[in-house]
Amino acid sequence: MWDPTLLTLLLLVVYGLALFCVLRILLHYRTAQGAIAWIIALLAFPYLTLPLFFLFGRNRFAGYIKARRSGDEALNQLLSVFSEEDQLTRIPDSADPSPELRVLTRLVGQPFTRGNHCTLLKDGKETFEALFDAMENARHYILLEFYIVRSDKVGQRIKSILKRKLDEGVKVYFTYDDIGSVWLPRNYLKELTQAGARVAAFGDGNVRRRRFQINFRNHRKLLVCDGTVGFVGGINLGDEYLGTLTDHLAWRDTHCRIEGPAVMGLQLAFVEDWYWAANDLPRFNWSLQPCPGSDQEVLVVPTSPADRFDTGTLFFLNCINNARQRIWITSPYFVPDLQVVNALQLAALRGVDVRILIPENPDHKLVRLAAYSYLVQSSKAGIGIYRYQPGFMHQKVVLVDDRYAAVGTANLDNRSMRLNFEIGAVVTDSDFVADVRQMLEADLRQCRPMTPEDYSQRSMAFRLACRAARLLAPVL
User: Which residues are known to be catalytic?
Assistant: 219, 221, 226, 394, 396, 401
Q: How many other CB atoms sit within 10 Å of the CB of residue 390?
A: 14
Residue 447 has phi, psi (to 5 degrees) of -110, 155
Question: Do β-strands 141-146 and 171-176 pair in parallel, antiparallel, or remain unpaired?
Answer: parallel
Question: Dihedral through CA 173, CA 179, CA 180, CA 184, nearest 10?
Answer: 70
Residues in the chain: 476
Contact between residue 108 and residue 241 where contact means Cβ atoms under 8 Å apart: no
Question: Dihedral through CA 341, CA 411, CA 302, CA 257, nearest 10?
Answer: -130
Question: Do β-strands 447-449 and 326-330 pair in parallel, antiparallel, or remain unpaired?
Answer: unpaired
Burial of 281 (0-12, 13-18, 19+ CB in 10 A): middle
End-to-end CA distance of the chain: 41
Contact between residue 361 and residue 391 where contact means Cβ atoms under 8 Å apart: no
Residue 261 has phi, psi (to 5 degrees) of -60, -25
Nearest Cα residue to 383 out of 329, 335, 463, 456: 329
Alpha-carbon dihedral sign for residues 159, 189, 195, 140: positive
Residue 196, phi-psi category: left (phi > 0), alpha (psi -120 to 50), beta (remainder): left
DSSP state of 409: S
Give the rounded distance of the alpha carbon of 441 from its chain centre.
Answer: 23
DSSP state of 241: G
CA distance 354 to 328: 6
Amino acid residing at 284: F
CA distance 234 to 82: 25
CA distance 105 to 265: 12
